[in-house]
Structure 1
Amino acid sequence: MKEVFFTFLKLGLISFGGPTAHLAYFYQEFVIKKKWISEEVYKELLAVCQFLPGPASSQLGICIGTLRSGWKSGCVAWIGFTLPSILLMVGFGILLKSNIVPDLKWVHGLKLVAAAVVAHAILTMWKNSKNHPYKIYMILGSAIIALVFSGAFTQLIVILVGAGIGFFLFKEESDLPYVSVSFSIPKKIAFWSLGFFFFLLFLLPLFRSFFGLQYFAISDSFYRSGALVFGGGHVVLPLLENEVVRQGWIGKEEFLAGYGAAQAMPGPLFTFASYLGYMISDLSGATISTIFIFLPSFLLVFGFFPLWEKIRNYPKMRTVIDAIQFSALGILLSAFCTPVFTSSIYSAYDLFVFCGLFSLMVFLKVPNWLILIIGISAPFLNPF
């Protein structure tokens, strides 16, 4: 288990570049270098992790650790990979909350970085998503609905409607990935994990309403955000914005500043939740938000994989997931329009910086850490 922890800790310290880069690091480390799993198994695990809601790289790490030495090693793998990013994001929250650096120009620079990153994520997800006759209509329709109706359950309704469209209107497919590996998790535990996943999804909102405690509210908000993320880590942005900004827990300025900073951190993007939790309720908030945003990933991995061979026999599942991903991309597009763009671009110079950062990412493939440096520096170079 020590080997698993220190291997993932090393990756957690050096894995800059976001979810796509993380998957490349995992491939080099566990398939090419250490040969813990074969290339075939790696691709199969990755396909299913991308099929599930939640952060694919974190779920893949849990899978690899579990295959190596059991479910405890899966948990240890997650700790090693995620801990550096958690500490860095909480550290950033401490820095921002204590006003150690009083000049807020650098915070505005982070917001410009966030805008460029989200725009790039939308473009990448559009290119990577499957071509389908309903694609453009579902994305634009989901974006418009999310913009017009900003209620607490709007995004959940959009996702459910997308799932229904996929089930009834999309053509069935039978090319679902096949996982030819055996998880040492009894099917009884798998059923309990899936049951607990849905149990918390419905129970936490009731606890929140009945007891009215902030800790229940934080648990509910971050658990639902972690459980409903389809289509990549960046889709967590509108979910979290809906939970923490629109409820008045933190302002748009602090929210976008943290999201911009998260782009330069190693490890999973979901540790953005650690920063948000700290800004809401110091270290206790950071602990609760981190646990509950990642908890759905554990429950799904431990519950889904042992049952996958039976679940995969339903070809409609692929069509439902494709439709949900289109809806999720529409939700992300709505978040880009507001609050990301409207809270970041105040002048022609801001628009120039945003376009420049976006172009550097798209055409020159400039890494996120360099984008962060350029973005923070830009407001100080404003000649107007």
Structure 2
Amino acid sequence: MQHDLASPKAQTPHRAGSPGEVLGAFLKLGLTSFGGPIAHLGYFRAEFVERRRWLDDNSYSDLVALCQFLPGPASSQVGIALGLSRAGWLGAFAAWLGFTLPSAIALILFALGVAGHGDLAQSGIVHGLKVMAVAVVAQAVWGMTKALCPDRQRGAIALTAALVVLSLNSPFSQLFAIAGGGLVGWRLLTLPHLPAANHRDYGVSRGGGARLLALFAVLLLAFQALAVFTDSAAGAAIAGFYQAGSLVFGGGHVVLPLLQTSVVVPGWVGNDIFLAGYAAAQAVPGPLFTFAAFLGAAMPAPLGGWHGGLLLLLAIFLPSFLLVGGALPYWEALRQRDGIQRAMAGINAAVVGILGAALYDPVWTSAIHARTDFALALAAFGLLLLTRISPVVVVALAALAGGLMQP
């Protein structure tokens, strides 16, 4: 928001609701919102613009643009901002809790089931879920390529990012690819200038926003230092998940390679369990970032179980609260800077390449071992891309097929 809080163009914040009202509204969505972040934004518009009239279409579109600009889960960030507008910071937490908790609980229960039955991890059902993950990531790469790489320049950025990640055997290769994509986009891309717009006031002052952004940066550095200097597995996990929530651009699927680096590379969670949980996350409503709860519950001590799942769930979503609250007062100033827009376009193209690399390793290499595996992945991809069948149904069919294919 470029306008000062006293500006006549800034609308006064609405605090007409209560945290309980916000919790009830978002809990309903958390139980029923299938289909990924784009579908979630459609559910939000129908519920809060058309039915409840908490805000108008222009304010909602502007909020969506901000949350797509920021790293992190866009639909969850929109929900946090809506709760903030309706009932302050307690409303923001209530919105996140209602939208997130149902899927998080389901995934923690699934993780406990996998951990409690060792043979389940090697079952045909879990193998079917791993194959399903190939189809899900392939669909994400397909859609993001069309949306975020519409020209040769951005296509080249994506291809280069994929080559960097596949060639450099380093946990920092993804961050290097993102930074390089932003730099190349800033220097080389040409984009139209965005028109100015009026903005809703969410009750966060510029000073408050600056403090939230400073806290976000301090925690990012502090968690990394904690992981390095204490040699703590829990500290390293918290640092990795906070970093993932801080640096993921382009949607929930892009979190896959960052989390894979955080938990599979150190050997805390095997690739089989990782991909089975990722596929299971497609079958539950709510944000894909609740995959963090599955991983936290599946990890060994000192994490694992309910406390591990909830701790890493908080770690991956905490950046969203700080970034949304911090950026809201500065959104208009940010969006009007052409250099920022070019850099973000380059970053978005780079994350397409990173996700494309993840489609090969670890997703493809861990799941596709035979012609029948590829056939199942291709069938699931076709159902996701070409039909209106719910992803929940496709996940169930893939798990069933995997069980039937097991010798």
In 2, distance between residues paired with 1:177 and 1:93?
A: 47
Partner residue of 2:151?
Answer: 132
For residues 148-187 of structure 1, the aligned pairs below 5 Å read 148-171=167-190, 173-175=192-194, 178=197, 180-187=199-206
Q: The residue matched to 1:257 in structure 2 has which SS?
A: helix
Q: The residue matched to 1:264 in structure 2 has which SS?
A: coil
In 2, distance between residues paired with 1:363 and 1:309?
A: 38
In 2, distance between residues paired with 1:169 and 1:179?
A: 30
- 5+ residue gaps, structure 2, are 1-18
Counterpart residue identity of residue 87, structure 2: S
Q: The residue matched to 1:58 in structure 2 has which SS?
A: helix
Query: Residue 365 and residue 101 in structure 1: after superposition, are their counterparts in 2 closer, same or farther (change >3 A)?
Result: farther
Partner residue of 2:211?
Answer: 192
Q: Is it true that 1:219 corresponds to 2:242 in the alignment?
A: no
- 5+ residue gaps, structure 1, are none
Counterpart residue identity of residue 94, structure 2: V
- 1:287: how far off? 2.2
Partner residue of 1:354?
Answer: 377
- 1:177: how far off? 6.9
Match of 1:204 among 219, 223, 240: 223
Query: Residue 311 and residue 36 in structure 1: after superposition, are their counterparts in 2 closer, same or farther (change >3 A)?
Result: same
- 1:383: how far off? 8.7
For residues 140-151 of structure 1, the aligned pairs below 5 Å read 140-151=159-170
Answer yes or no: is the 8 Å Cα contact 2:30–2:103 preserved in 1. Answer: yes
Q: Any idea what the Cα deviations from partners look like across 1:281-311, whole Å, max 9, x if unmatched?
A: 2233212211110011101000001122333
Match of 1:25 among 8, 31, 43: 43
Counterpart residue identity of residue 267, structure 2: G
For residues 240-251 of structure 1, the aligned pairs below 5 Å read 240-251=259-270
Answer yes or no: is the 8 Å Cα contact 1:71–1:185 preserved in 2. Answer: no
Query: Residue 78 and residue 26 in structure 1: after superposition, are their counterparts in 2 closer, same or farther (change >3 A)?
Result: same
Tell me how large the CA RMSD over aligned residues is. 1.5
Partner residue of 1:329?
Answer: 352
The runs of at least 4 consecutive aligned structure 1 residues that moved more than 3 Å come to 100-103, 176-179
Partner residue of 2:69?
Answer: 51
Match of 2:252 among 219, 222, 233: 233
- 1:204: how far off? 1.3
For residues 106-117 of structure 1, the aligned pairs below 5 Å read 106-117=125-136
Partner residue of 1:63?
Answer: 81
TM-score (norm 2): 0.91
Counterpart residue identity of residue 43, structure 1: S
Match of 1:96 among 107, 114, 139: 114
Partner residue of 2:97?
Answer: 79
Q: Any idea what the Cα deviations from partners look like across 1:16-68, whole Å, max 9, x if unmatched?
A: 11111111110110011111111111111101111110000000001111111
Partner residue of 2:314?
Answer: 291
Counterpart residue identity of residue 329, structure 1: V
- 1:101: how far off? 6.8
Q: Percent of pairs identical after alignment? A: 39
In 2, distance between residues paired with 1:331 and 1:365?
A: 28
Q: The residue matched to 1:342 in structure 2 has which SS?
A: helix
